[in-house]
Structure 1
Amino acid sequence: MGKKTAIIPGWLVLVAILWVPFFGGCSTAYYGAMEKVGIHKRDILVDRVEDARDAQSEAQEQFKSALEQFGAVVQIENTDLKKAYDKLNAEYEDSEKAANKVSERIDKVESVADDLFEEWEDELKLYKSADLRRSSQRKLQKTKTRYREMLASMHRAEKSMAPVLRTFRDNVLFLKHNLNAQAIGSLRSEFSTLKGEIDGLIKNMNEAIKTSNKFIADIKQ
C-alpha cells in the first residue's frame, strides 16, 4: 500500500479558529496555533486584507443608504419629524458602526503585516545561498512597497469617513433639538455638503478596494 497524503481536517482548522479569542493579545500563541494547521502569516495577511476590503465595501453601501435617507427626509413636504429623526439617527449609528469596523479591520491588517515582515527579515539571515537570499529580499521589498501603497489608500478612505460622520451627526442633533419645519429647511441646505463628502469618501474607498485587490493578487504569486 502507498503512503496516504496528509490532509488537514477541516475540523482542525475550525478548532484553531475557535481558540483564537483565548489567546488575547498573545500573537505568538495565535500564530503558532494557526501554523499547526497549515495557516501562515502570509495567509492570515491575505485574509485580513480581504476582510478590510469587504468592510470598506459594506461601509460604502451604508453611507450611500444614509445619504438616500437624508435626501428623502429633506425633500418630502410635511415630513413626520419624529420619524424623520429616528430614521436619520439609525442611519448615523449604522454608519458609525461601519466606520469603526473599517478602522478595526485596518488595525488587524497592520498588526499581522508588521509581524510578517519582521519574520521575513529575520529569515533572510538563514539563507546559505546568496542568490536565493537576494531573490527573497527583492520579493520582500516589492511586497512592502505594494503594502505601503495599499495601506496609504486604506487610511485615506478611513480619514474621509470622519468629516462625513461629523456632518451627519451635527444634522441629526440639530433635527433632534429642533423638531419643526424650519429645521427641515436648514437640513436641505446641508444636503449638498453631505453629498459632496460622501462622493469623495466613495471615490477613496473605490481606490482602496482596487489597491487591496492588487496587493492580494501580487502576494499570492
Structure 2
Amino acid sequence: MLSPSRLSVYIVGLAAFLLAAGCSSTYYRAMEKVGIHKRDIMVDRVEDARNAQEDAQQQFKDALEQFGSVVALKETDLKKSYDRLNGEYEASRSAADTVSSRIDRIEAVADDLFAEWQDEIALYQNRELARNSSRQLEETKVRYKEMMARMTRAERSMAPVLDIFRDNVLFLKHNLNAQAIGSLQREFTNLEAEIGVLLDRMSEAIESSNTFIAGMQAS
C-alpha cells in the first residue's frame, strides 16, 4: 500500500498525464484529492507565466546586447557572428513561445474557475454570503482582465522584435561580408527601439501578475 506522501506524488503525476491528454475535468478532480483547487492552479500558472516573462525579458536584453556587439565590430569572423546571432534569435523565439504557452494555460483554468464559481454561488442559502461571493467573483474577473490585457499586449510586442531579428539574421547568413555588417548597423536602432517597448510592456505585465497573485492569495 502506498504511503500518503507517495500517493500524493502518484496522484499529481497522474493529474499531469490527464491534463496532457486533454482530460481537464478529470485532472481537476485528481488535483482536488490532494487539496489543490482551481484557484491554486490558476495562481501557479500566473506565477509560471510571470517567470516566463522575466526569463524572456532577460533573453531579449541578451539578444540586443549580442546584436550590438556584432554590429560594433569592424573586422570579425562573419560566420561566428552569424552563429551567435542565430543562437540568440532561436533562444528568443523559444522564450516567446513559452510565454504564449503559459498565457494559454492561464486562460484555460480561468474559464473553468469562473464557471465553477458562478455555478456554486447558486448553491448558497444565505443571500448575504451569495452577494459577497458574487462581488468577489466580479472583482477577481476585473483584476484578471487587467492582468491578461497587459500580458497579451506584451506578448504581441514580441512578434515585431522577432521579425526584425529573423530578417537580419537571414540577411547575414546570405551575405557573409562586410556590407552585411553595415546593414545590421542600420537596423540596430530599429531593433533597439522595438525591444525597449517590449521590455517596458513586459515589466507592466509582470507587475500586474504580482498584483493579481497577491489579490488571489489575500481573498
User: Using the alignment, how far apart are the partners of 1:150 and 1:17 within structure 2?
Assistant: 28
Structure 2-normalised TM-score? 0.95
1:211 alignment partner in structure 2: 208
Q: What's the CA shift for 1:57?
A: 0.2
1:187 alignment partner in structure 2: 184
2:134 alignment partner in structure 1: 137
1:50 alignment partner in structure 2: 47
The correspondence for 1:13, drawn from 8, 11, 20, is: 8
The correspondence for 2:153, drawn from 143, 153, 156, is: 156
Q: What's the CA shift for 1:10?
A: 4.2
5+ residue gaps, structure 2: none
Equivalent position SS for 1:82? helix
Q: Which amino acid aligns with 1:12?
A: L
Q: What percentage of aligned pairs have identical amino acids?
A: 62
1:5 alignment partner in structure 2: none
Counterpart check, 1:30 vs 2:24? no
User: Using the alignment, how far apart are the partners of 2:95 and 2:169 within structure 1?
Assistant: 17
5+ residue gaps, structure 1: 1-7
User: Using the alignment, how far apart are the partners of 2:5 and 2:212 within structure 1?
Assistant: 27
Q: What's the CA shift for 1:22?
A: 2.6
Root mean square deviation, CA, Å: 1.1
Equivalent position SS for 2:35? coil
Deviations, residues 150-202 of structure 1 (Å, cap 9, x unaligned): 00000000000000000000000000000000000010000010010001000
Structure 1-normalised TM-score? 0.95
1:113 alignment partner in structure 2: 110
User: Using the alignment, how far apart are the partners of 2:189 and 2:4 within structure 1?
Assistant: 54
1:3 alignment partner in structure 2: none
Equivalent position SS for 2:28? helix
* 4+ residue segments displaced more than 4 Å: none
